[in-house]
Amino acid sequence: MVEVLVALLLLALGVLGYAAMQIRAVESTGAALTRSNSMIILRGLAEEIRVMGVTDQATYTAAVHSYAAMTTSTAAPTSCFSNACAASDMASFDAYRTGLVALQSGVHIDMYACPLTAAVGGASPVAATTASRQCLVAAWGTTTPTVGTTATTDCLTPTGIYHPKATCVMLEAY
C-alpha cells in the first residue's frame, strides 16, 4: 500500500512539473509572437519611409514621435488614400496608420535618433543627432519606447543597449 502512495506522489509531482512547463511554454510563445509582430510593424514603416525621397524622410521622425503616446481616441490625420498629400501629410498619415496597427497589437512605437553607438574599427563613438541614424522602437507591457536610465520602463540605455527586463525591439530605419 505504501508503494502505491509513493508512486502516486511521484506521478503527481511529474504532472505538476509538466503543467508548469506547459504554462511557461505558452508564455514564451506569446512573447515571441508579440516580438515578431512588432518587427513586422517596424519593417513595414521602415519600407514606407524608404519609399519617400531622401529629403522627405526627415519628416517621419517628428510624425512617428507625435503618435508615440497614441490612444484609441487619437484623431486621424487627413487620409492620403483619397486625397493628394504633401510629404509631411504622408508621413503623418503613415505614422498614424502604423501607430494604430501597433496599438491594436498592444504595442507603442516611436522614432528618434539612435542612441550613442559604440566605436567600430578604432573610430570614435557617434553621439545621437537628428542627422544620424534613426531608430524605430516598439515596446509593450510596462516598457515604453524610450531611451533612458530607468530600467523598469525604458527600452534602451543611453548607449543603445536593451535594459535587461525590457519588452521591446529596435530597428535602425536609415
What confidence tens digit (pLDDT) does each residue in 6-36 have? 889 999 999 998 888 988 888 878 889 999 9
What confidence tens digit (pLDDT) does each residue in 50-71 have? 888 777 788 888 899 899 989 9
pLDDT, mean over the chain: 86
> In the chain, pLDDT over 90 holds for what percent of residues?
48
Grid coordinates 553607438 are at which residue? 117
Looking at the predicted structure, is the pLDDT value of residue 131 above 70? no
The contacts of residue 116 (CB under 8 Å, 6+ apart) are 125, 126, 127, 128, 158, 159, 160
Q: Grid coordinates in use for 87?
A: 510629404
Which range among 38-42, 59-63, 119-123 shows the weakest confidence by mean pLDDT?
Answer: 119-123
Which range among 12-21, 69-78, 115-124, 154-163 shows the weakest confidence by mean pLDDT?
Answer: 115-124
pTM tops 0.85, yes or no: no
Secondary structure class of 168 (helix, strand, coil) = strand
- The pLDDT, as a whole number, for residue 83 is 85
Residues 160-172 have a mean pLDDT of 92
Query: Of 39-43, 66-70, 123-127, where does the model show the most confidence?
Result: 39-43
What confidence tens digit (pLDDT) does each residue in 95-104 have? 999 999 999 9
